[in-house]
Amino acid sequence: MEHGISRIGVVGGGLMGSGIAALAVYRGIAVTVREETPELADRAYHAIEKVFGDLLQKGKIDNLTYLQCMGLLEVTTDMRDLRGANLAVEAVSERLDIKEKIFAELDALLAPNAIIASNTSSLPIAQLAAATARPDRVLGMHFFNPPIRMDLVELVRGAETSKITMSIAEAFCREQLQRQTIRVTDRPGFIVNRLLIPYFNEAALAIELYDVDPHQIDAEAKAYGWPMGPFELLDFVGIDTTLWIAEFLNESCANRFFVPPLYRLLAEQGRMGARKTGTGFYTYPSRDSQHLEALLAKRYPHRNERMDAKHVFDRMMCALYVQAIEALEEEAASAADIELGAKNGIAFPGIGPLHAIDAMGHGKLLWMLRDMERTYGPRFAPPELLKRHSACEAPFFSE
Ligand code: 3HC
pLDDT in tens, 87-108: 999 999 888 999 999 999 999 9
What's the pLDDT at 302? Answer: 86
DSSP β-ladder status, 138-143 and 153-157: antiparallel
User: Does 140 share its domain with 176?
Assistant: yes
User: Does 227 share its domain with 372?
Assistant: yes
User: Does 215 share its domain with 181?
Assistant: no
Burial 371-382 (b: 16+ CB within 10 A, else e): ebbeeeeebbeb
Q: Is residue 373 part of a domain?
A: yes
What's the pLDDT at 157? Answer: 97
- Answer with the one of 162, 185, 208 that is the final residue of a domain: 185
User: Does 165 share its domain with 216?
Assistant: no
User: Does 155 share its domain with 206?
Assistant: no
Opening angle at CA 170, ends 77 and 168, nearest 5: 75
In whole angstroms, give the CA distance from residue 277 to residue 351: 34
> Measured from the CB, is residue 241 less than 6 Å from ligand 1?
yes
What CATH number does the domain containing 337 carry? 1.10.1040.50
| Paired strand residues for 138 | 116
Helix or strand or coil: residue 66?
Answer: helix
Q: Residue 275's pLDDT band (boundaries 50, 70, 90)? A: confident
What's the pLDDT at 277? Answer: 87
In whole angstroms, give the CA distance from residue 149 to residue 190: 21
Alpha helices in 58-136 (DSSP H): 63-71, 96-109, 125-129
pTM over 0.85: yes
Active site residue 86: no
> Measured from the CB, is residue 121 less than 6 Å from ligand 1?
yes
Mean pLDDT of 242-256: 91
Mean pLDDT of 59-67: 97
For residue 396, is pLDDT > 80? Answer: yes
Query: What is the Cα gyration radius of the chain?
Result: 21
**Amino acid (one-letter) located at 120:** T
In the chain, the largest separation of any two C-alpha atoms, in whole Å, equals 64
What's the pLDDT at 2? Answer: 52
**Which residue, by CA, sits nearest to atom 40 of ligand 1?**
227
**Which residue, by CA, sits nearest to atom 21 of ligand 1?**
236
Q: Residue 14's pLDDT band (boundaries 50, 70, 90)? A: very high
What CATH number does the domain containing 28 carry? 3.40.50.720
Tell me: the pLDDT tens digits for 114-132?
999 999 998 999 999 999 9
User: Does 211 share its domain with 134?
Assistant: no
Mean pLDDT of 325-353: 97
Mean pLDDT of the residues in the chain: 95
Q: CB under 8 Å to 297, separation ≥6 — which residues?
A: none
Q: Is residue 388 part of a domain?
A: yes
User: Does 180 share its domain with 212?
Assistant: no
> Measured from the CB, is residue 218 less than 6 Å from ligand 1?
no
Domain range for 313 is: 192-399
Strands, E assignment, 178-323: 181-185
User: Does 155 share its domain with 231?
Assistant: no
In whole angstroms, give the CA distance from residue 169 to residue 5: 9
Among the options 105, 154, 202, 220, which is catalytic?
154
User: Does 98 share its domain with 119?
Assistant: yes
What's the pLDDT at 399? Answer: 67
For residue 1, is pLDDT > 60? Answer: no
In whole angstroms, give the CA distance from residue 387 to residue 357: 13
Q: Is residue 2 part of a domain?
A: no
Q: Is residue 250 part of a domain?
A: yes
> Measured from the CB, is residue 233 less than 6 Å from ligand 1?
yes
Q: Is residue 124 part of a domain?
A: yes
Tell me: the pLDDT tens digits for 192-246?
999 999 999 999 999 999 999 999 999 999 999 999 999 999 999 999 999 999 9
User: What's the total number of domains in the chain?
Assistant: 2
What's the pLDDT at 3? Answer: 61
For residue 262, is pLDDT > 80? Answer: yes
How far is ligand 1, taken at its centre, from the CA of residue 66, in Å? 21
> Using CB atoms within 10 A of its CB, is residue 210 exposed (0-12), middle (13-18) or buried (19+)?
middle
What is the side-by-side strand order in the sheet with 153-157?
73-76, 30-34, 7-11, 87-90, 115-118, 138-143, 153-157, 181-185
DSSP β-ladder status, 153-157 and 181-185: parallel
How far is ligand 1, taken at its centre, from the CA of residue 235, in Å? 10
Among the options 86, 142, 145, 355, which is catalytic?
142
> Using CB atoms within 10 A of its CB, is residue 209 exposed (0-12), middle (13-18) or buried (19+)?
middle
Tell me: the pLDDT tens digits for 367-380?
999 999 999 999 99
Atom of ligand 1 nearest to the CA of 222: 7
Helix axes 63-71, 38-57, angle to 10 degrees: 160
What's the pLDDT at 240? Answer: 93
CA dihedral defined by 142, 144, 145, 149, rounded to 10 degrees? -130
What's the pLDDT at 398? Answer: 81
User: Does 225 share its domain with 155?
Assistant: no
Question: Among 118, 226, 228, 279, which is best to mutate for testing ligand 1, by the most ligand atoms less than 8 A from CB?
Answer: 228
Q: Is residue 340 part of a domain?
A: yes
- Answer with the one of 124, 156, 185 that is the final residue of a domain: 185
User: Does 178 share its domain with 201?
Assistant: no
Question: Among 236, 272, 320, which is best to mutate for testing ligand 1, by the most ligand atoms less than 8 A from CB?
Answer: 236
Nearest in space to 232 (alpha carbons), one of 268, 312, 308, 286: 286
Nearest in space to 196 (alpha carbons), one of 320, 16, 280, 335: 320
Q: Residue 254's pLDDT band (boundaries 50, 70, 90)? A: confident
Least confident range of 177-181, 296-300, 328-332, 384-388: 296-300
User: Does 361 share its domain with 216?
Assistant: yes
Q: Is residue 1 part of a domain?
A: no
Q: What are phi and psi of 73, to 5 degrees?
A: -100, 135
Residue pair 258/250 in contact (Cβ under 8 Å)? The answer is yes
- Answer with the one of 159, 185, 211 that is the final residue of a domain: 185
